[in-house]
A and B are shown apart, each in its own frame.
Chain A
Amino acid sequence: MHLEYTVVEGDFVNAGIASSSVKKTLKQLNVNPAVIKRVVVALYEAEVNAIAHAYGGKVLVDIDPQKICMTVADKGPGIPDIALAMQEGYSTARPEVRDMGFGAGMGLPNMQKNVDRLNVTSEVNKGTTVEMEVYFQ
């Protein structure tokens, strides 16, 4: 099954729509609730990052009987130092975004903790692609 969503820069009001839709789908497919929880945390964080740090992007989801693959790809400013960005507490979130409670620098660590495979690729001034896989068994 293939699902696609679009996320728009600065559109915090709609943050979580892809995660919420994927959660519903996985529930309908009777995926283990503990696995759904992990998928939801990781996808929400990737979605929010495309909204907060980039100029929006696309969420592509593929579900097969064994696993879910999620790709969040944006055409944003990119991440100059991915290892640094992965560190808990590191954030370049703007003050107005921090005021909303984003910017703890916990999003990428949350993805790392909740997926079986995480791959972040990025090119400065081009964009960032976050690929995540979660196995159902």
Chain B
Amino acid sequence: MKVQDLVDALNLKVISGAQGLDREVDGCYVSDLLSDVMGNADMNNVWVTLQTHKNVMAIASLKELACVIFVKGLMAAEEVIEQSNEEGIPLLSTNMQTYEVVGKLYNILNA
């Protein structure tokens, strides 16, 4: 499964980092607590969160996550978008709430 497959299946908006859409996806981590993600997310995970500031990209990069999905149509600041483009880690957005998008992700990733 690639990030692009999730974008297509869930109709996600690609905010930035499009060159990383061919990154491999393996599992998902859902949390808005940064140390929780730092300690427990795995490489190639999709990260679903409502945090949109610069540290999100720092963590996504350090942990080599597949992509970040912002819920509720949230947007990232310019500096965050820049880093996503530099690192090729896609930032994606959905209008869905966490519950809804994670439910769908669960079905897709466990199919």
User: Is B53 a contact of A44 with CB atoms below 8 Å?
Assistant: no
Count of A residues near B, CB < 8 Å?
A: 24
Could you tell me the distance in whole angstroms from the C-beta of A3 to the nearest C-beta in chain B? 16
| A-B contacts, 5 listed (Cβ < 8 Å) | A16-B58, A37-B43, A37-B63, A45-B38, A106-B39
What CA separation (Å) do A134 and B77 show in the bound complex?
A: 35
17 extra interface residue pairs, beta carbon distance < 8 Å, beyond A13-B79, A16-B59, A101-B34: A12-B54, A19-B62, A41-B38, A41-B39, A44-B58, A44-B62, A48-B34, A48-B55, A100-B51, A100-B55, A101-B49, A104-B33, A104-B34, A104-B35, A106-B33, A106-B38, A113-B39
Interface residues of A (CB under 8 A from B): 12-13, 15-16, 19-20, 23, 37, 40-41, 44-45, 48, 100-107, 109-110, 113
Count of B residues near A, CB < 8 Å?
A: 19
User: Is A40 a contact of B35 with CB atoms below 8 Å?
Assistant: no
User: Is A101 a contact of B51 with CB atoms below 8 Å?
Assistant: yes
Q: A13-B79, A16-B55 are in contact. Are A110 and B62 (CB under 8 A)?
A: no
